[in-house]
Structures are given as structure tokens and as C-alpha cells.
Amino acid sequence: MREKKRNLTKNKAKLSINNKTYEFPIYKSTEGESVIDISKLHSIANIFTYDPGFTSTASCESKITFIDGEKGILRYRGYDIEELAKKSDFIEVVNLLIYGDLPNNKQLKKYKRLITRHTLLHDQIINFFQGFRRDAHPMAMMVGVMGALSSFYQDTLDIHDAHQRQEATRRIVAKSATIGAMAYKYSIGQSFVSPKNNLSFSENFLHMCFSNTAEEYKISPILSKAMDTIFILHADHEQNASTSTVRLAGSSGANPFACIAAGVSSLWGPAHGGANQAALEMLEEIGTSKNIRKYLNKAKNKKDPFKLMGFGHRVYKNYDPRAKILKNICQKVLNHVGIKNDPILKLAIDLEKIALREKYFIDKKLYPNVDFYSGIILRAIGFPPEMFTVIFAIARTAGWTAQWTEMIEDPIQKIGRPRQLYTGNKPLKYGKNRSKKNTR
Ligand code: CMC
């Protein structure tokens, strides 16, 4: 492994195993927890660490996103999410995440042009869409088409060429919105709408989703600002499941489109990006505030697989700052579309209020996360629940590509290869002990 200068603390971590003591360096982070470097543990002590779900393991070094889960803080490259949501726009945030600082006006203008140059998809991708069933989940199309981009854009597959890497990241961000909109149009049986490069990223996405051959969609500044804020809030979230998947896939040298397709797959699950769809469906199932108690009891019952979707987080043990911003936008968007008293929003607010008074949720520090309110806004804009995770994926292409780039450019980058605690059989003789179960 190549050496890298790190911010060492004076202290060392000591680990005693069978009367032998081993010492490990501790690196200081700019903010947040320090880390013990145990990368030499196996070679010096012939033992592994065991940490399912990486609850105590830093899998990489990163300068991109900082979260303080106890205080409910989220920062991209040092900037508070609240400030970015108010003052920035999505493409500026993409630029910030990828390049490390805020662009000046000239750089931003140029970057917007570079992104919009890539909003179109290769014409043959239309044939690709036509192979999907109309009733397929749009995330199924997203996974497939994202991976397929590697067959169309072969001039940006060389991960060792910095220019190709940058071009690939711009293609991924720009084309993800077009793919997402096409997946939506395909699922509702309408023809695809071409991107319009004079529009902003968010306006263009709304245009591609809601214009049709007979009618141009009139873009409301309130809705496009809400859409843009949703994109900003979902742009990155340090080493979550899908980002770690992108990094792991990329660590083998796989091309960027394949890596991002792996991230889309990981995001799809209901414990991760799929929670926004699940949260709205849960609110619809609960139906009325009268049923809240019944569902809270289900959530608390360990024998019941039901969880309060849009609640809880691996890192936030406080209110998710993204949920706070979205809660504030909700009413504005609902008023704008003419829903003065949305029963689903009322139910969500009641549910939050009651849950946050319950001992179970207080003790486990379970608060609303980003997925609790985003679905209510997206539904008011006009999206069906199946599109919510697609929208999350479009936004997260920013973080995935920034994290993938950081990983490739890290001098100590090596293939990710976790170890295991093996608890299977010891050596067996073939043919003896055949299974007696009839259940497989
Ligand atoms: N409803 C009821 N109980 C919960 C919930 C919930 N939503 N979330 C966590 N718990 C309980 C969990 O059962 C466990 O109890 P115990 O200690 O008695 O076994 C305890 O709280 C700790 O939870 P955990 O599952 O060990 O925590 P985790 O860090 O592994 O999981 C999570 C985090 C987000 C997967 C989980 O909170 C969850 O499944 N929430 C619902 C799905 C959701 O909203 N996901 C979106 C996350 S934010 C956006 C994103 O990152 O994609």
C-alpha cells in the first residue's frame, strides 16, 4: 500500500490478545470521531475484526460530506445543508461536491453548459426502453439503462484518464434526469419528451416528465424550487449503503456507468432510498389519525416486521436536518397546488408528534428522516410513489460520482475485499451426510 500523510494523534490504540499487546495509530478527523487504523491487524496478529453493517468501521477517507448525527448537522464540503438549500442550486452543488469548493460565476456558467450538453441520450436507448414491460417499476428501468450507458459511451470508460472520468461524471448526472423522465413516460404510456437545454436542471426534469406532445407543461417557480431543493438535499450523504456500493464496485476498476448502476440497485431497497415510496404508502395505509396508535404498536412489536417508514437513521440520533427543511416546504407546495388541508400531511404531522412522545422512539432516538416528508411534496408536484426513489437516484448521482472520483484519485485506493467469520462446516467427505430435509 502506498503511504499517505495523515493527521496522527499522540495516542495509540492498544489491543491485547492472548497476553500480547499490539499498537495501532489513531488518525484525527477534521471534525467528528477519530479512527483507529487496524489495516495491519491481520498481518501482525492473524485475527480479523467483526463489524456487521459497518456500524463502527470507516471504510475510506473522504473530504466530501460531514454528518454530526447527534446534533443533526449535514455539510457538503463544509457548507451547511440549510444554507445550500436556500442559496444554491443543484448543478452548483454537483460542482461543489465534485471539485471541492464553490465555483465562481464563470466556472458555474461553463459547468452548466457542460452538463446540459449531455442531457440527450443516444437514440438507440429508445429501443432499449421498448424492451421493458410497461408495468415495470421505473427503478428497474433506471438500473438497466444506467448500466447500459457503458455500451453507448465507450469513449469515457478509461478510469485512469482524468478527462474521461470528468466527462463520465457529467454524462451520468445529466442523463440520469433524462432516463428517470423516460422511465416515467414509458410507464404511463406517453411518448418521450426531449430535454430543453435553456431550462435549469430541475425545470428540465419537470418539463420532460409533465409536458406531452399535445401540451407544454407550465413550470411554476415554486414547484421547480421545491424540486431543486429535493435534489440538493439528496445529493450526498457520505458512506451510506448505495455510496459504499459504488465505491466497492469501483474499487475493482469497473467503469463508472456500471458502478452507478450498482448504486442505483442498492438505493432501491426500502431501508434506503425506497423508504420515500414506502413512507407515503404507509401513510395512505394508516389513513387517519385514529389509527396511529395501532400502527405505533405494530412498529414497537419485535414480532411484527412493520417499521415506521421515514423514521430512524443509522447516523442521525436527532432530527434529520433534511426532514426539517422538507417539512417547511410541504405546506408551501400544497398551498400552491391548491391543497389547503391535505389529510396525508395532517396525518404525518400527527404521527410525528405522537411518535416523538413515545418512550420507544425517545429511547432509540428515532426521528423523522428525509423520506418522511419528501413523498408528500413529490405527490403534490404530480409524481406517483414509484417515481420517488428514481428522483432520489437522480439527485444521488452527484454524490456517487463525487465519491467515485475521490476513490479513484486516492493514492492508497485498492480493491475492497472484506473478510468473514466462517461458521460453516469443517472438511467433509463427499456423499456422506446428505440432506434429510425435504424443504428445498
Ligand atoms: N420503526 C420502528 N423501530 C425502528 C425503526 C423504525 N422506523 N428504525 C429503527 N427501529 C428500531 C430497531 O428495531 C432497533 O430496535 P432494537 O434495538 O430493539 O433491535 C433500533 O430501533 C435500532 O435500529 P436499527 O435497525 O438497528 O438501526 P439501523 O441503523 O440498522 O437502521 C434504518 C437504520 C434507517 C435502516 C432503520 O431506522 C429503518 O429501517 N427505518 C425505516 C426505513 C427508512 O426510513 N429508511 C430511510 C433512511 S434515510 C434515507 C436513506 O438513507 O436512504
- Nearest ligand 1 atom to the CA of 307 is 1
- Residue 310 CB less than 6 A away from ligand 1: yes
> Is residue 271's pLDDT more than 70?
yes
Q: How far is the CA of 69 from the centre of ligand 1 (A)?
A: 14
Averaged confidence pLDDT in the chain: 95
pLDDT of residue 57: 97
Nearest CA to ligand 1 atom 35: 271
Three state DSSP letters for 102-160: CCCHHHHHHHHHHHHCCCCCCCCHHHHHHCCCCCCCHHHHHHHHHHHHHHHCHHHCCCC
Assess whether the C-beta atom of 272 lies below 6 angstroms from ligand 1. Answer: yes
Q: What is the mean pLDDT of residues 210-227?
A: 96
Of residues 54 and 342, more confidently modeled: 54
- Looking at residue 438, what is its pLDDT? 79
> Residue 1 above 60 pLDDT?
no
CB 66 within 8 A of CB 59: no
User: Which residues face 36 on adjacent strands?
Assistant: 26
Pairing of strands 8-17, 20-27: antiparallel
Q: What is the pLDDT of residue 408?
A: 97
**Per-residue pLDDT tens for 246-258?**
999 999 999 999 9
Substitution site in 139, 277, 314 for ligand 1 pocket (most atoms within 8 Å of beta carbon): 314
CA of 353 to the centre of ligand 1 (A): 18
Joined grid coordinates for residue 420? 468473514
Please tell me the distance between residue 366's alpha carbon and the centre of ligand 1 in angstroms.
8
Q: What's the rounded Cα separation, in Å, for the pair 400 and 246?
A: 7
| CB of 138 closer than 6 angstroms to any ligand 1 atom | no
Nearest atom of ligand 1 to the alpha carbon of 273: 52
To test the pocket of ligand 1, the residue of 283, 366, 370, 373 to mutate (highest count of ligand atoms within 8 Å of its CB) is 366
- Per residue in 113-123, pLDDT (tens digit) is 999 999 999 99
b/e per residue 86-103 (b: at least 16 CB within 10 A)? eebbbbbbbbbbbeeebb
Q: Which of 203, 245, 209, 242 is nearest to 224 (CA)?
A: 203
Strand-pairing partners, residue 65, are 76
Ligand 1 centre distance from Cα of residue 418 (Å): 24
Residue-level length of the chain: 440
List, for residues 78-110, the tens digit of each pLDDT value. 999 999 999 999 999 999 999 999 999 999 999
AA identity, residue 203: E
Q: Which amino acid is at 257?
A: F
| Cell numbers placing 199 | 431550462
The mean pLDDT value for 377-403 works out to: 97
Q: Is 371 a catalytic residue?
A: yes
Active site residue 68: no
Q: Is 372 in the pocket of ligand 1 (CB under 6 A)?
A: no
pLDDT at 3 over 70: no
> Closest by alpha carbon to 368, among 322, 409, 402?
322
Q: Which triple of cell numbers denotes residue 49?
A: 475484526
Q: Residue 281 C-alpha to ligand 1 middle, in angstroms?
A: 17
Quick one: which of 16, 53, 57 has its CA closest to 38?
57
Q: 9 phi and psi, to 5 degrees?
A: -90, 165
pLDDT tens-digit map of 33-79: 999 999 999 999 999 999 999 999 999 999 999 999 999 999 999 99
**Cβ density class 255-271: b for 16+ within 10 Å, e for less:** bbbbbbbbbbbbbbebe
Q: Which of 307, 358, 390 to mutate to test the pocket of ligand 1 (most atoms within 8 A of CB)?
A: 307
Burial grade of 107 (CB within 10 A; 0-12, 13-18, 19 or more): middle
CB of 238 sitting under 6 A from ligand 1: no
Report whether residue 268 contacts ligand 1, using a CB cutoff of 6 Å: no
Instruction: Pick the catalytic residue from 118, 207, 313, 320.
Output: 313
Q: What is the DSSP string of 166-198?
A: HHHHHHHHHHHHHHHHHHHHHHHT-------TT
Query: Is the model's pTM score more than 0.75?
Result: yes
